[in-house]
Structure 1
């Protein structure tokens, strides 16, 4: 499918591109759509997210699970991403004084992506009472379909890097004036329908209305700072990668290219 055809299908009048792509994701990985966006690497370096500016989830959850970063840090992002995160936090504080952003994960080398896919595969298999190493093809396919709901398929293709391997993507949430994590109605990396950003949109009970408002607040300040939200995860935002370029294209921008490719390859 061409980008023009994708715009016609998912970006038509009255349609929300993110909602449409959310449906597409349920039928398979977004990788075929991301491939429509070319990468024009800008060579911007990685910078560490300063502790003085942002709260972090520590110990980092993937390090705690045994992932090896080999000298890299999960709290690195491209300089342009750092600049926009600081802008997003300022926008948040204009609306919610003394609130802030709390970073769950950012840069993720390929070996960490591969490790966490295997780790999650083993978790899902254990929940089903299955040994993944002796599972049937059908069982394994079912397990992996769950895994890929929250993990991008590892890729060695330089033209199709995983988002976090580019330093462009960040998983994050909100904290209130007491430093407490704001309830968003679902855990980061959870494999369940509550991960969908608009899961609570039609809720009429007080809790659901509040959860949708919290998610909307996060999306609004991040979008105003230049990020795009991944259509099937309320916590994942990126700037400058192929997914960002794809969503910008569906929103009407023309000739959008990704400016960040896989970090280790330039």
Structure 2
């Protein structure tokens, strides 16, 4: 295990940690010496297998179940993590749902306000609340890393629907406000916006034809995303940024 002095012994809470991106990031940060709080929704066996893997890397790790459709579950998750492992220094808000897939040419009538609000609550509201709960400790330590897993859909509308795209673009406003407000306290806040990452639940049933849209000619892998999260953790000068990782589909500049 090669650890950095700055990250050694820091506690990283990763939500949606049994999915492709969460798992790859957990292993990546454990190799930097971070202890890992593994959040999962239903993949109990996957969470325990990941914990065993992380323990073998010489760090502390524990699994925590929570259903982010209620805010009380988010509060309980934070309390459980604090009780068992301490206060998180690094928070990767990676958990999320797509909700109904209506596609880019779908009918907006198919998304009820209730579906819209539930998608926002699980994707954006829960991440906001968990960040709110983690911030006081980060302020007191004058160190914190907050990372959101957004989506290319936040900037393009995407292929799921308006409920999902808007829940992700809302994260960007959060990133900009939090980053500006807490930079003076040694806390950075950034987001990664991936697209078409193959080894994730969201991409289970995706058509191979979509590959033709990607300039690099292949789908992304979770191992393409984890190093970007690692960059956010290691770089104290990089904050207030949304990094798009989509194989070159969307050109962007600041």
What TM-score range do you get, normalising by the shorter chain? under 0.3
TM-score by length of 1: 0.26
TM-score by length of 2: 0.27
Question: Of Structure 1 and Structure 2, which has the larger fraction of its residues in strand?
Answer: 2
